[in-house]
Amino acid sequence: MAEHLDVTQATLQQTGTVEAAALIAQQTLLVGLAIAAQDAAAEAAKQAAAFLASKTQLLALIGGSKQAMQTDLSRKLLLKLPNPELVAMDGQPLTAEMRSLACKSAKEAKSKNGKVQRVGKKTEEYDPYAKLCWGCGELGVVATCTTPLCGYLLCLMKQDESLACIEDSREIEGRPFKCPICISKTKGMAMYYNVRNYILAMRVSHPPPPPLAVIHLTWEVHGAAVPILIEALKEEFRRHHRPLLIEHLPMTMTSWDSEEADEMRSHLLDFFSQHPEGKVLLVIHTHADSATGQLCNSWNHNETIALYNTIEEVLTFYLGQEVVDTLQMRSALRGLLLLACGAAVGTNHIGSMKCVVQKNIFDWVLAFSADRLNPGEIMAQIRAALTDIFVKGEDPWVAIVNNSTASKTVLSHTPIVYIDKDSEQQARCLQLVLSAIPGHPWGFIPLCGVPLCPARRGDVHGSASKHLPIPGDFHGRLRLKCRVCNFGIWIKRPDWIIATRLRSYFFSMPWPLTEEQLDEAMGRNCTWKLIAQEANSTSSKGKKWELEY
């Protein structure tokens, strides 16, 4: 800067003109801007270095090094770390005034531009009049069993006659038709026609499902979890030639008031009027606010803050009040699958979730209580459960329990929360968990019951007795032991923790739990006693411990 001023002063002495003075001022301004840019770049570099240093400390811990790895490799690794699927977010409430203002602006922009980005929507209909053989599972001309309460359908004619389950349709003419199952149960009656396709094994296929409407609402999610579910349902309804309506609406500040939303509502109302027996499945795939548990469904004007509403408000905004009112009056099965993190069914939002069932908008709700939810980890079993419910007509709770406990995949990732009505028509909420020893007995992460003990989560381990007082009563009695203070306690399984039938280590319980229930399940309402080392313990397997009663 000083050298530049010397040069400009010499120029002024030589010329002594106004033009030289202007040139000096211009050069001085350019130099000042350059210096300011250098300072800003230095500050940005300093902030970037601080950010990288904070992040690479984690890499140093992972790699076992005591120094941060300030390398290009570490920077590339940080950039490639994937975002979690469904995590709780911090946001603010989305009000009706905000929605109205955004929709007004969107409509003004549409009138000026004449174009608007269309919302994805897909509708599929199938012929509802085709008959499906219950023996081979294919379409054809069928004979119906005349036995009361049976109604078994068996094909006798197809395009290729050699493929029909009844070999010769003339053999059943002139007499009431009975299926092979009913003939085998009738004393003194023999088969009077020949069958093929393994029908004598008495394989009973499920009857064709009633029509189904699938509604899919999404906000800021990715992955193929829900499309895979929809493809599975499409294949089942294609095979049965039954009506299937699929509607997809991304949730935004303005999509609730768009032409696409109006078309979706019109399609749903037409479906309801044409198919009174038609079932409904609503899938909401979004994030939940970490504090309130309400469902995020839009961004603010500059897309920096997530905006959220309760589940009831989301239904009213995007489905529309007329669709919600129609759902309340329907007697056919209505289910809601919520793919969001566990805050959505936490204590702050579970009341709104139960209201959806209590107000008879849906018969049941299926959700998940893990802090982090990855739908890809669970959709294989959940897809099978939903297929059993909407295609095979199984009881929702039975189908969910049977499929989610067939392996430990789902419940080792997240507990399942299920809401329906009890025998008194009051909304009830259940949680299905996996009891994993030692760190997750009865689905809990136990805490030490000794006051002032510095134990952390995971320091209290559970162990089960090898001798079962009741055969098959797994985890009926557990011992909890703190690895920090060496205190512990034996706990009998509370009556409200119920073992699932025919499935070991899977349990159901009320949700959410009260503080009294948590104290009972984790032994916090009892006195923990010191676990002492046996005096003559010389076992090579380590220390032996027993409770001092």
| pLDDT value of position 119 | 44
Residues in Cβ contact with 286 at an 8 Å cutoff, skipping those fewer than 6 apart: 86, 217, 218, 219, 220, 221, 251, 295, 296, 297, 339, 340
Cis? peptide before 207, omega within 30° of 0: no
Would residue 413 count as lying in a domain?
yes
Question: Looking at 370, 393, 427, which one is the last position of a domain?
Answer: 427
Distance CA 28, CA 297 (A): 52
Encode burial over 498-516: b for 16+ CB neighbours within 10 A, e otherwise: ebbeeeebbbbbebebeee
Cβ-Cβ contacts under 8 Å for 336 (sequence gap 6 or more): 281, 282, 283, 284, 356, 362, 364, 365, 366
Looking at residue 207, its pLDDT comes to 74
**Nearest Cα residue to 429 out of 397, 402, 403, 406:** 397
Alpha carbons within 13 angstroms on the beta-carbon side of residue 236 total 25
**161/225 same-domain check:** no
Q: Is residue 508 part of a domain?
A: no
| Domain assignment present for 505 | no
* 393 in the same domain as 252: yes
Among residues 275, 135, 102, 280, the alpha carbon closest in space to that of 204 is found at 135
Q: How many folded domains does the chain comprise?
A: 4
Is 501 inside a domain boundary?
A: no
Q: Tokens 């396709």 map to which residue?
A: 197
d(CA 323, CA 444): 40
- Let me know if residue 432 belongs to a domain: no
Q: Tell me, what's the pLDDT at 457? A: 81
Is 90 domain-assigned?
no
- Within-domain flag for 158: yes
The Cα–Cα gap between 176 and 543 comes to: 76
Cα pseudo-dihedral 497, 459, 87, 352, rounded to 10: 30
Same domain, residue pair 345 and 256:
yes
Instruction: Return the pLDDT at 313.
Output: 95
Tell whether 351 and 449 lie within a shared domain.
no
Q: 149 and 273 share a domain?
A: no
Question: Do 376 and 477 sit in the same domain of this protein?
Answer: no
Closest CA to 134 of 232, 210, 203: 203
User: Quick check: 285 and 218 in contact, CB under 8 A?
Assistant: yes
10: containing domain:
2-80
First to last CA, the chain: 85
**CATH number for 299:** 3.40.50
Last residue of a domain, one of 372, 392, 427: 427
67, 26: one domain? yes
Residue 420 covered by a domain: yes
Kindly state whether residues 422 and 453 are assigned to the same domain: no
Are 221 and 307 in a shared domain?
A: yes
pLDDT at 79: 45
Query: End of a domain among 151, 168, 201?
Result: 201
Asked if 219 and 308 sit in the same domain, the reply is yes
pLDDT at residue 538, rounded to an integer: 38
Query: Each residue's pLDDT tens digit in the chain (549 positions)?
Result: 444 445 445 544 554 555 555 555 566 555 565 666 667 667 766 666 665 555 544 444 444 444 444 444 444 444 444 444 555 666 778 777 776 777 667 666 666 555 444 444 444 443 344 477 877 777 778 888 888 888 888 888 877 666 788 888 888 888 889 888 888 888 888 888 888 766 655 555 667 899 999 999 999 887 678 888 999 999 989 888 889 999 999 999 888 889 999 999 999 999 999 999 999 999 999 999 989 999 999 988 888 889 999 999 999 999 999 999 999 999 999 999 999 999 999 999 999 999 999 999 999 999 999 888 888 889 989 999 999 999 999 999 999 999 999 888 899 899 999 999 999 999 999 999 988 788 778 878 888 888 889 988 888 888 876 655 555 567 778 888 998 899 988 888 888 998 887 677 899 999 998 989 988 888 888 888 888 653 344 343 444 444 332
Are residues 251 and 361 part of one domain?
yes
Co-location of 149 and 221 in the same domain: no
